[in-house]
Amino acid sequence: AQSVAQPEDQVNVAEGNPLTVKCTYSVSGNPYLFWYVQYPNRGLQFLLKYITGDNLVKGSYGFEAEFNKSQTSFHLKKPSALVSDSALYFCAVRDMNSGAGSYQLTFGKGTKLSVIP
Amino acid sequence: KAGVTQTPRYLIKTRGQQVTLSCSPISGHRSVSWYQQTPGQGLQFLFEYFSETQRNKGNFPGRFSGRQFSNSRSEMNVSTLELGDSALYLCASSGEVGSYNEQFFGPGTRLTVL
């Protein structure tokens, strides 16, 4: 079975400082990895994904993520945090080898990011 | 393109009742998935439909059911509601099966069971 772990329930960072939100995963086959963001009373917004290729993936709103196969990690990063980045962030994985064609995602518990002015 | 829409946005029911939630995917998307989000359990997969067929089902009791129509719109139904069914129910749509597309989520339906 596939799983995702986000070891930090909350991350606090000062505005202008770099931020990192951690994610590790476990799948039996090749992973599809995603980051989503959720603002209060809203659905999930897609930020970026890793399928294959370059280990550094760039996404929306200046976010990027680094895929590390040996550490089974997919940490989300941003060079300079904004107050408007404060939200709930979810890492998700899709096992490419399960459920032919299925889009089913397994999500981490989420990390609340607070950017302090 | 319009995004994923879900109706209603908010719903209050009492224990024992049943409820139907609706989801309209992005135009052209044929895959619709449903997720339940609660503070305790996080985001959990309910089921996935593609071309009116259920492709995948999560670990939920049979009180939770769904269907997809020929226009790709989907409904999910919860019968005999329990207090623990209070949650945000999210619908997501995706492009063609087998492609590398991400899922696009709707705003959710907030269900409160009293």
Percent of chain B with pLDDT over 70: 95
Interface check for A83 against chain B (CB to CB < 8 A): the answer is no
Q: Which domains does chain A have, with CATH numbers?
A: 3-116 (2.60.40.10)
CB atoms within 10 A of CB B103: 26
Given a cut of 60, whether residue B99 has pLDDT beyond it is: no
What value does the mean pLDDT take over residues B6-30?
Answer: 96
What value does the mean pLDDT take over residues B88-105?
Answer: 82
| Alpha-carbon distance A97 to nearest alpha carbon in chain B (angstroms) | 11
Number of cross-chain residue pairs from A and B with Cβ atoms under 8 Å apart: 59
**Per-residue model confidence (pLDDT) at position B113:** 97
Do B5 and B104 contact (CB within 8 A), yes or no? no
What value does the mean pLDDT take over residues B7-23?
Answer: 97
Using the beta-carbon criterion (under 8 Å), do A105 and B94 form an inter-chain contact? no
Query: pLDDT tens string for chain A (117 positions)?
Result: 789 999 999 999 999 999 999 999 998 888 889 999 999 878 899 999 998 888 999 999 999 999 999 999 999 999 999 999 999 999 999 866 555 567 788 999 999 999 999
Do A108 and A34 contact (CB within 8 A), yes or no? no
- Beta strands B87-94 and B104-105 are antiparallel
Chain B residues touching A35 at Cβ < 8 A: none
Interface check for A101 against chain B (CB to CB < 8 A): the answer is yes
